[in-house]
Amino acid sequence: MEIINFLSSHADLKLDASFKDITTIKMGGKIKYLISPFDMNRLKLIINFLKEYAIPYKVVGRGSNMVCGSRDYNGCVILLEHINHYHFEDDNTIYVESGMVIPRLANTLAKLGYSGLEFASGIPGNLGGLVFMNAGAYKKEMSDIISEVLVLSDGEYKWLNREECAFSYRHSIFHERRDIVILAARLNLVKRPCDDIRNLIQDRLARRRATQPLDKPSCGSCFKNPEGDYAWRLIDGVGMRGYNYHGIEVSQKHPNFIINAGGGTGEAFVATLNLVKTRVLEEYGVSLREEVEIFNC
């Protein structure tokens, strides 16, 4: 009861929730404690508490790039949905907290005439997740507009500049430093006519709808593109388009999307992922690197 009382006093708490409820691919086992801290200071208190009681924990964004196994997680999953504020610090710099949903922010900025986030307008994640992945599309990525990232590290708040974040293609220092929690970032934007921004966003969204299986549960692109090539082309080239294994399917529409076609599990997803990698390596000599995060599997 002490654990429940503490968590519920500093966060919204759900007991025995499921990863199915918090991931876009809609699968995974139960979660013992699912919480949404009320603010950054409460988050700091909670993490210190969890460490003291040796309770494992995982900070999750919107679950749009995450595949979870079927076994139950006897720990605490932390959502940052309440840590979602933003404000302009000057004419071109905006402070945005991790829980802010990026498509919502991109549309808000478009109405205000601020450009820079159009490329991410169709990515169904929050700021923290996009910073973690250095997410990108259409030859743009988050590191192009980030100046600093606010983190919680060793119980202290700290600003990291862009160089300290060690951004690269779909990667950042936060992959190696899982103990660091991304709290906010400063983004550099530019003024542009509202109509131009809105038109670009609509164009990007239309291209996504035409080429990606957005009507199916998925975690987006599964593999990073090899240098000078496209993962989808290699997957298609080994005849994996449409492959289905226990409800996990390599999308007919876009082979770099592996979807939950019905009743899929994290274990079946990993098996499919590994088969794709094996076949591509055997046929092309290319080692595909996954973009998706596998957890508790």
Q: Print the domain residue range for 278.
A: 213-295
Q: The CATH number of the domain where 35 resides is what?
A: 3.30.43.10
- Spatial contact of 168 and 133, defined as CB atoms under 8 Å apart: no
Tokens at 176, concatenated:
């190696």
221 is catalytic: yes
Given the residues 170, 186, 204, 279, select the one marked as catalytic. 170
Catalytic residue (one of 18, 98, 221, 251): 221
Q: What pLDDT score was predicted for residue 176? A: 94
Checking if the pLDDT of 63 tops 90, the result is yes
The confidence score (pLDDT) of residue 267 equals: 98
Return the CATH number at 114: 3.30.465.10
Q: Quick check: is 203 in a domain?
A: no
Residue 91 and residue 188 share a domain:
yes
The verdict on 91 and 186 lying in the same domain is: yes
Amino acid, res. 89: E
Residues 6+ positions from 245 with CB-CB distance below 8 Å: 268, 271, 272, 275
**Which residues are bridge partners to 259 per DSSP?**
218, 249
pLDDT in tens, 133-149: 999 988 899 999 999 99
Q: Which of 216, 185, 168, 16 is nearest to 86 (CA)?
A: 185
In this prediction the pTM is 0.94
Tell me the average pLDDT across 221-243.
97
Residue 31: per-residue pLDDT: 98
Known catalytic residue: 170?
yes
Q: Are residues 94 and 130 in the same domain?
A: yes
Q: Catalytic: 227?
A: no
Closest-CA residue to 86 (of 61, 59, 109): 109
Q: Supply the pLDDT for residue 14.
A: 97
pLDDT score of 16 = 83
Q: What percent of the chain has pLDDT over 90?
A: 97
**pLDDT, position 180:** 97
In this prediction, residue 1 carries a pLDDT of 72
Instruction: Report the pLDDT averaged over residues 252-258.
Output: 97
Q: Which of 19, 50, 79 is the last residue of a domain?
A: 79
Specify if 204 maps to a domain.
no
Q: What is the mean pLDDT of residues 101-114?
A: 96
Residue 83's pLDDT is what?
Answer: 98
User: Got the DSSP string for 238-296?
Assistant: TT-TT-EETTEEE-SS-TTEEEE-SS--HHHHHHHHHHHHHHHHHHH-----B-SEEE-
pLDDT band at 244; cut points 50, 70, 90: very high
